[in-house]
Amino acid sequence: MRRSLSFQTLEHQGLQALLKSSIRQVSRLALMVSALVSVTACAVTQPTVNPEKGEAFSYAWLKGHARSLSEKPFVSHEGDVPSVLSDLDWDEYQQLHFKRDQSLWQKDDTAYRATFFHLGQGFITPVHINVVEDGKSTPVDYSSKMFDYGDSHVNGKSLPEDLGFAGFRMQYGTDWERDIVAFLGASYFRAVGAEMQYGLSARGLAIDTATNKPEEFPVFTNFWFEKPKPNSDEVTIYALLDSDSVTGAYRFDIKAGEPLKMRVDVALYPRKEIERLGVAPLTSMYMIGENDRRTNYDWRPEIHDSDGLEMLTGNGEWIWRPLGNPEQLRFNAYMDNNPKGFGLMQRDRNFDHYLDDGVFYEKRPHLWIEPIGDWGKGSVQLVEIPTLDETFDNIVAYWNPAQDIIPGQELLYSYNMYWGSEAPVKSGKATVQSTYTGIGGVVGKKRDYYSKRFAIDFEGDIFQMLGQKAEVKPVIETSRGRVEITSARPQHHIGGYRAMFDLVPDDSVKPINIKVHLETNGQPISETWVYQWNPPAPDKRELHNAGHLK
């Protein structure tokens, strides 16, 4: 018997303080020349951190420093910038431009260059940058000569010489103008594949997301760039993470391409007990889609950076969980043991489904996490936060280890990140391409009771293997309610099948969990579609019967 992914569902209602701490406002720019995250994080910085004279920089040294730092009291330096910078509004901040001729490695034979973000507006925690060559670490000193201040009314010459930076971005040899990766704001970063289009973000770490306490945002306070060798298509970046509850050492081995690949090694050293630790956290936006049109006042039919959470469980089951924009914060934990992968994906890549010729949502990259080694027991957790505007990232997904997180531990994680327009791994089975929802019932007949219609389109080459007498059946499981009017019909225009059914809820408004996959001859031929539906209150279940129906 095929084992299924187990899941537990928690729903939080009316947590206004939590919403304020969990929602991250993001600049949605049409061009991918920035990845500006406008959250003011719970931030810290220390003076430039480097090995003692005569000691080489290495990842082992960085881990030792992070462990030593975790044994000392946390010191926050948030806001250690002149008021002329912190008081800038958004438009004024956009006037601060890095000069391309000041790019790091501008005159060197390397496939990568780095440019820097200026401090200001919401980015008020200085970040220190260093370059590592032959084991020697050298600081990159801030200079106002690196920037053009435009019409911001900032006099760069009056700023401190040791100001530091807000973050950085990198370019690759195929295009020195557009970015391939950017780190800016707390521990947030973004990257692109071959379509060179930013979309969702990642973070170094998430702490206490969707709990009854304010979310904590650790910060990358120091970076070290290892100078690439000539003819090398990879670059390595190290980072020191710090916050009230934890310190960490990070190594990013980055290789541009389709997809862009990052190998990430993480060593964490808790200062305090942590209620909810989020490893490899992903942050995205979902406002309107085929399955959820709660905010349907916009002229565009769909607005989202990602449309689903994909998971490959430790026992080899492929899961697809469509995203939604719920009326109240929604939290789900999908229990697993040693997961093989998870990611927030943008499967719908049809321009006609978005019609947005400014930000091109159909080009937003997938981000797939591939754990390296045994991650043990835990859960992939998904947080969906209500949003009325596309400038708020309202989707968070991460791995939460089951073990208690206490001071004195060393927590080691390694994983690959794949950013691009194609999924880096495929199941070989049919995959969900679209999910549609609406009123149930039979067309032309009066509805005597309320039901919800679900239509799920599956695509895949596996359908070409079906024999002439093969019968495709939908296998449907629900936590509550009655399923009726089920079918699985060929969809020749997509070379796939559509599973369709109605779900009649009971009188409760609590969420109903649904699972569907296709099978033939008793064998599953598709991934598993997992969904959560919140039925409306009984007095709001309109039947929408036309007047001529009797």
What is the per-residue pLDDT across 448-488, written as a single tens digit (0 to 9) for each?
Answer: 999 999 999 999 999 999 988 899 999 999 999 999 999 99
- Distance of alpha carbon 464 from alpha carbon 174, whole angstroms: 39
Rounded mean pLDDT of 54-64? Answer: 92
> Which residues have a Cβ under 8 Å from the Cβ of 22 and sit 6 or more positions away?
209, 210, 215, 329, 383, 385, 396
Measured at the CA of 414, the angle between CA 412 and CA 420, to 5 degrees, comes to 150
The mean pLDDT value of the chain amounts to 90
Structure tokens at 546: 């036309």
Count of CB atoms within 10 A of residue 31's CB? 13
- Tell me if 232 sits within 8 A of 200, measured CB to CB: no
Helix (H, G, I), strand (E, B) or coil at 109: coil
Q: What percent of the chain has pLDDT over 70?
A: 91
What is the per-residue pLDDT across 198-220, written as a single tens digit (0 to 9) for each?
Answer: 999 999 999 999 999 999 999 99
- Tell me if 412 sits within 8 A of 267, measured CB to CB: yes
Residue 43 has pLDDT above 80, yes or no: no
What is the per-residue pLDDT across 77-118, written as a single tens digit (0 to 9) for each?
Answer: 777 889 999 999 999 999 999 999 999 999 999 999 999 999
- Distance of alpha carbon 222 from alpha carbon 77, whole angstroms: 13
Residue 37 has pLDDT above 70, yes or no: no
- DSSP code for 83: H
Q: Across 119-123, 228-232, 275-279, 489-493, which has the greatest mean pLDDT? A: 275-279
- Tell me if 221 sits within 8 A of 249, measured CB to CB: no
Q: State the pLDDT at residue 47.
A: 62
- Distance of alpha carbon 82 from alpha carbon 154, whole angstroms: 11
Half-sphere exposure of residue 103: CA atoms within 13 angstroms, side-chain side: 21
The answer to pTM > 0.85 is: yes
Each as own residue / partner, the long-range contacts of residues 38-41 (CB below 8 Å, 24 or more positions apart, any chain) are: 38/90, 38/121, 38/122, 38/185, 39/122, 39/185, 39/186, 39/188, 39/217, 40/78, 40/122, 40/124, 41/78, 41/125, 41/185, 41/186, 41/187, 41/217, 41/218, 41/219
Q: What percent of the chain has pLDDT over 90?
A: 82
Which residues are 189's β-sheet partners? Answer: 183, 202
Q: Which helix (H) or strand (E) holds 67?
A: helix 59-70
Q: Could you tell me which of 517, 539, 479 has the C-alpha nearest to residue 11?
A: 479
Model confidence at 25, pLDDT cuts 50, 70, 90, reads very low
Count of CB atoms within 10 A of residue 439's CB? 15
What is the per-residue pLDDT across 499-539, written as a single tens digit (0 to 9) for each?
Answer: 999 999 999 999 999 999 999 999 999 999 999 999 999 99
What is the per-residue pLDDT across 246-286, written as a single tens digit (0 to 9) for each?
Answer: 999 999 999 999 999 999 999 999 999 999 999 999 999 99
Q: State the pLDDT at residue 423.
A: 86
Q: Could you tell me which of 252, 249, 259 has the C-alpha nearest to residue 234?
A: 252
Helix (H, G, I), strand (E, B) or coil at 396: strand
- Distance of alpha carbon 225 from alpha carbon 227, whole angstroms: 6
Residue 13 has pLDDT above 50, yes or no: no
Q: Which helix (H) or strand (E) holds 304?
A: strand 303-304
